[in-house]
């Protein structure tokens, strides 16, 4: 079985267990087991290019398998072209998480959240990073290169990748959030 298919099955099974009545503690423990991040997809527009290059090196040194979907120069590009690639790698199960950097992080967040299955969070400090993982189970992080130094971007990305979903009361909210998405599709 391919890693992609396996990831999708695990995700669906864990989500269903809570819905079917598994206790919060058991579900959270199971989520934490599967919440181990190995593969991270990163992307950027021209504004985030330099930060993305530094982040790629940093995350690789930390031991992550990093997939870079571009952009690959400072030439002006359109952030939706890269944000959607990041989002697709996450929903396909090829990567557990995605990080997208543009000038302010806003446009990329908007694009990623239009892809079914994505919970993208534009974060701006350690507290928002932790909240986006513990409460919102964000699977894509967007950051603004103009809002941070490269070192800050690396630090925020590391914290985000290491912070686990808290489960518990947040499960019901995530399920309601995803139900909104399903209703919009129908």
Residues that bind ligand R5P (CB under 6 A): 45, 47, 76, 79, 102-104, 106-107
CB 149: neighbour CB atoms within 10 A? 11
**CB 156 within 8 Å of CB 126:** yes
Query: Looking at beta carbons only, is 64 or 79 nearer to ligand R5P?
Result: 79
Is residue 34 within 8 A of residue 96, CB to CB? The reply is no
Which residues does the annotation mark as catalytic?
135
Q: What backbone torsions phi and psi does residue 102 show, to the nearest 5 degrees?
A: -125, -160
Residue whose Cβ sits closest to ligand R5P = 107
Measured from the CB atom, the residue of 99 and 166 that comes closer to ligand R5P is 99
- Shortest distance (Å) from residue 136 CB to ligand R5P: 20
How far apart are CB 112 and ligand R5P at their closest, in Å? 12
- Supply the minimum distance, in Å, between the C-beta of residue 171 and ligand R5P: 31
Task: Using CA atoms of 132, 115, 39, 140 in order, give the dihedral in degrees to the nearest 10.
Answer: -20
Helix (H/G/I), strand (E/B), else coil: 118:
coil
Q: Which is nearer to ligand R5P, 107 or 167 (CB)?
A: 107
């Amino acid at each position: 079985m391919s890693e992609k298919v396996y990831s999708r099955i695990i995700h669906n099974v864990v989500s269903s267990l809570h819905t079917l009545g598994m206790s919060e503690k058991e579900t959270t423990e199971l989520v934490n087991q599967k919440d181990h991040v190995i593969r991270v997809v990163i992307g950027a527009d021209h504004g985030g290019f330099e930060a993305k290059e530094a982040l790629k090196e940093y995350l690789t040194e930390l031991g992550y398998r990093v997939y870079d979907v571009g952009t690959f120069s400072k030439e002006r590009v359109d952030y939706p072209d890269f944000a959607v690639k990041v989002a697709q790698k996450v929903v396909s199960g090829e990567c557990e998480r995605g990080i997208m950097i543009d000038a302010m992080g806003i446009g990329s967040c908007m694009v990623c959240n239009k892809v079914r299955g994505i919970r993208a969070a534009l974060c701006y400090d350690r507290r928002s990073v932790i909240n986006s993982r513990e409460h919102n189970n964000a699977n894509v992080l967007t950051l603004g290169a103009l809002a941070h130094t490269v070192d800050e971007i690396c630090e925020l990305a590391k914290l985000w990748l290491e912070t686990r979903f808290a489960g518990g009361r947040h499960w019901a909210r995530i399920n309601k959030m995803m139900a909104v998405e399903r209703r919009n599709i129908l």
